[in-house]
Amino acid sequence: MSGISILIVGLFLPLFPLSMIFNELFSRFTSAKLRIALLIVWPQVGIILAYLFEVNIPDWVITWALFTALLYAFRGLTLREIGLWTSFIATSSWAILWVVLDSDTTFSQLMFYTLGLSLPLCLLVLLCGELEKQFGAAYTGLYNGLAESLPRFSGVLVFVILAVVATPLFPGFTVMLTAIFSTSASSIITGVTISIVWLFWTWAGARLLQDLIVGTPKENGKVDLSLNTTWAYTAALGLLIVGGIYSIGGLS
Amino acid sequence: MEMLILLLPLLPLFSAALNHVSYKQAGHKAAKTSVAFGVINFILAVALLAMVMGGDKTSQVALFDSWGILIADPLSVLMALLISGISLIVRIYSIKYMIEEAGYGRFFMLLDLMTATLLLMVTAGDLISLLVAWHLVGVLLYFLLGFDSRSHTAYRYAFWTLITYRVGDIALVLAAGLLFHAYGTWSLSEIFAAVTENPGAHQYFGFVLEELVGFLLAIAAFARSAQFFLHTWLPYTMDGPTPVSALMHAGIVNAGGFLINRFSPIFIQTESTLHLLFIVGLVTAIIGSVLMLTQNDIKKALGYSTMGQMGFMIMECGLGAFSLAIYHLIAHGLFKGTLFLGAGTVINKARKHDGVPQDDLYTFVVERQSAQQRQPWLMMVGITLAVPIIILFLAHWLVAQNFFQNQGAIVLLFFGWITGAQLLFTTYRMHTQNIWRLIGIIILSFTVIVLGYAFISHAFDLFLYPDAAFREQIYAAAGIDIFWFNVLVLLTTAIIVASWVLIYYSEQNHMSEQKKITQWWIRFYALISREFYIIDFYSWLTRTIFKAATRLNVLLRWR
């Protein structure tokens, strides 16, 4: 893979500082639909291009990708704006795909893994829109105690965040295991770095949840998700779990 | 048998699903469903244990092609019985205890999920299932500890638990990655067979695979069992509901001991990992016990007590007494669960009536009033030092004549010796009408306990590790050079004997009462009361990380 092709793929499977372009675009798109489209299409383009350019990834690119993943996971720890949090975690998780790209994973598996990483983020974008509708902004620390004032919303949010931070049975878990298993035997540092990225995701996710759902609600009279919408989210999460279980079977 | 193993984690999962669908409508129903399924689960676990004890061979069932393997072997069925039993008790206790809490049904759903996950963890026959269960236990515990969604404190400490557990998860994932790379299979039985057949066949980063994997597994066990430096979450998670504390202290925290036993075929091939377990366990046992003694909050004291016990359990593994660690974790689980579930009643009673018994035991233990009339101190030194060691040796000799050939056994006898000696020393200073009657009763109790302990632990040894050669291998892996071992034994014996003689002598001459509190002693107390500044260090580290992340975000303009 030539330097130019790496740079092109590095735009879509973000490598810092090219990653700033995706984050800039994501923040400019205020519509949920556009954000979802971006989250689904952007990394898939990266995967397709990587295959078109016949991937043979040098070690320094893996190091670069890991640095990007670590950088954005670390920066995600203190973010309070949920939209920005989503794009940072997206950047961090897609950068990990470089490692998976370098393993024995097939093209279709990789497309599936990428989708598995993007879909929970899409659900988070929808929830973010719901918060903006209710409170005017999707920002942690401004309001809390959602578990009490919006129980259905909080329940869905918890599961979506768990899916985003690659909790077992969600597809992200398989991606992380694939990345760690394919590298830990050749470079323990790579394995440890990916693990630290994963740890930061959990940390960032827990902070986000705590700042939103815990506490006594400041405002009452907010409208919770309808039963039908809740079931729709549940179905989506259920599908993600089925996909996760299916993908674990493909681990090798 | 295969069907029973399969049902073991599936039943509580089904109960959780049922509760999720119905809890909004009827909270009580959730509790009843949960308990009913708990009873069936417990009966299943008893049946499985009976089958294995009855001589049924280890069997396994696979849910998927390469993972989802569940096994029924002595270790898994024993642990399944413990988990099912404690979980059932906790659920029954919670029926009334949690009745006024919001999210009553959700609580039972979470308990069911936790039970299912723990049962999956102990019956997992492949690395993937083990990783899934190991990781999920931390996540579920986070939500159980933070059950009160109004309490920021509960969530804060629940987060400490989650993040510490994740550190352990990472180590386990890395260990699994190395094992899979070396042997090309997820199946634990296949990996263990390959390791046993050809030990030391693989090397990674200049280390033998077994040594590296053993070290990573040890880290995973340390995080789960609150070993020193990874312990801060345990005593602080008391804002969670009491039934959760009981489940955590009686069941979940023991997972470190389980993990070490599960991977015993790996650990017996290591050279230094068991020594690491011994040192970390010993340090944790001492620090946990010291911190427990300085607490004035009953639940926090229980938390540090668990830490000390977990240290002892890991130390037992480090000495090669793997099955003893399992016996220890079961015994500890039962008594600590009882203490937690009873703590609320004790506190309530104490609020109404101080319950101070005006008897000799209270004035001696709490008010520290000792008797003026004492027996000849030299005679008491003799009894204190000789009687426990004679009882310990005779009891273990009765169980297994070759017991003393194991270095680990000798070290464990030291602990028994010190405990027995401390008991007699305490008695010697107590007010009583007939000191010899009291000493006689104590010696009798000590004998019964030691005999019981020796026989039961030997039975555990035979049940969990029926292969005598394997048992010997475990002790051998924990051993050190015989010359240095003898030197250490002699040195330790000399120190113990000299210390007891000195203590008796100083007590006899009232020297301890004349001692002034020195500046050093105050400093030491300050160090303990600040819990060795470890929590302060972690808080500082967290603040530094957040500051750095914020600065980076500003520097990079949030893109």
Return the residue matching tokens 């049904």: B105
Give the range among A27-31, A81-85, B179-183, B496-500 with minimum mean pLDDT.
B496-500
Residues of chain A numbered 119-178 and touching chain B (CB < 8 Å):
145, 147-148, 154, 158, 162, 167-169, 173, 177
User: CB of B509 within 8 Å of any CB in chain A?
Assistant: no
Helix, strand, coil in percent for chain B, rounding step 5: 80, 5, 20
| Interface residue A189 vs chain B (CB under 8 A) | no
A59-75 vs A3-12: helix axis angle to the nearest 10? 30
Residue pLDDT, tens place only, B45-71 = 999 999 999 888 888 899 888 889 999
Minimum Cα–Cα distance from A195: chain B residue: B170
Distance between CA B121 and CA B386 in Å, rounded?
45
CA distance A215 to chain B (A): 4
Burial of A39 (0-12, 13-18, 19+ CB in 10 A): buried
B150 touches chain A (CB under 8 A): yes
| DSSP assignment of B448-463 | HHHHHHHHHHHHHHHH
Any B CB within 8 A of A210 CB:
yes
Do the chains contact at A206 and B136, CB–CB below 8 Å?
A: no
Instruction: Compute φ and ψ for B203, nearest 5 degrees.
Output: -130, 140
Given this model, what pLDDT does residue A27 score? 94
Residue B185, phi then psi, degrees to nearest 5: -145, 155
Task: Annotate A164-202 with b (16+ C-beta within 10 A) or e (fewer).
Answer: bbbbbbbbbbbbbbbbbbbbbbeebebbbbbbbbbbbbb
Q: What is the largest CA-CA distance in chain A?
A: 58
How far is the alpha carbon of B22 from chain A, nearest alpha carbon, in Å? 14
Least confident of A158-167, B417-426, B548-557: B417-426
Question: CB neighbours of A132 closer than 8 A, spacing ≥ 6?
Answer: A138
- C-alpha B223/C-alpha B286 separation (Å) is 17
The pLDDT mean for chain B works out to: 88
User: Does the pLDDT at position B431 exceed 90?
Assistant: no
Number of CB atoms found within 10 A of residue B36's CB: 13
Residue A116 and residue A56 in contact, taking contact as beta carbons nearer than 8 Å: no
| Chain B CA closest to residue A155 | B106
B168 shares contact with chain A (CB less than 8 Å): no
Confidence of residue A251 (pLDDT cuts 50, 70, 90): confident
DSSP B30-52: HHHHHHHHHHHHHHHHHHHHHHH
Task: Indicate yes or no: CB of B66 within 8 angstroms of CB of A251.
Answer: yes
CB contact under 8 A, A181 and B176: yes
Angle in degrees, CA A125, A232, B159, rounded to 5: 55
A180/B549 CB distance under 8 A: no
User: Could you tell me the two tokens for B233?
Assistant: 């979450």
Q: With a cut of 70, say whether residue B373 has pLDDT above it.
A: no
| Contact list, A167 vs chain B (CB under 8 Å) | 135-136, 139
Residues 6-25 of A with CB under 8 A from B: 20, 23-24
Q: Say how far apart CA B410 and CA B393 lie, in whole Å.
A: 10
Three-state SS across chain A? CCHHHHHHHHHHCCCCCCHHHHHHHHHHCCCHHHHHHHHHHHHHHHHHHHHHCCCCCCHHHHHHHHHHHHHHHHHHHHCCEHHHHHHHHHHHHHHHHHHHHCCCCCHHHHHHHHHHHHHHHHHHHHHHHHHHHHHCCCEECCECCHHHHCHHHHHHHHHHHHHHCCCCCCHHHHHHHHHHHHHHCCCHHHHHHHHHHHHHHHHHHHHHHHHHHCCCCCCCCCCCCCHHHHHHHHHHHHHHHHHHHHHHCCCC
B69 three-class SS: strand
Inform me whether the C-beta atom of residue A213 falls under 8 Å from chain B C-beta atoms. yes
Confidence of residue A252 (pLDDT cuts 50, 70, 90): low
- Chain A residues with CB under 8 Å of B548 CB are 74
CA-nearest residue of chain A to B204?
Answer: A185
Can you read off the two tokens belonging to residue B338? 């009882």
Can you give the pLDDT at residue B374?
A: 64
Q: Domains of chain A: which residue ranges?
A: 3-249
Could you tell me if B142 lies within 8 Å of chain A, comparing CB atoms?
Answer: yes
State whether residue A103 sits within 8 Å of chain B by CB.
Answer: no
Q: With an 8 Å Cβ cutoff, is B546 touching chain A?
A: yes
Residue B286 reports pLDDT greater than 60: yes
* Cis peptide, bond prior to residue A58, ω within 30 of zero: no
φ, ψ (nearest 5 deg) of residue B466: -65, -20
Q: Which among B64, B177, B558 has the least Cβ separation from residue A191?
A: B177
Residue B20 makes CB contacts below 8 A (sequence gap 6+) with B109
Task: Please report the residues numbered 340 through 369 in chain B whose beta carbons come closer than 8 angstroms to any beta carbon of chain A.
Answer: none
pLDDT, one tens digit per residue, over B482-500 is 888 888 888 988 888 888 8
**ipTM of this predicted structure:** 0.95
Q: Does the distance separating the beta carbons of B546 and A77 come in below 8 Å?
A: yes
The answer to whether A214 contacts B152, with C-beta atoms less than 8 Å apart, is: yes
- Phi then psi for residue A117, to 5 deg, are -80, -35
Neighbours of B531 (CB within 10 A): 18
For residue B514, pLDDT over 60 is answered with no
Which residue has tokens 């789960």?
B224
Mean pLDDT of B281-288: 95
Rounded (10°) angle between helices A171-184 and B127-145: 130
User: Measured on CA atoms in the order B174, B178, B181, B186, is the torsion positive or negative?
Assistant: negative
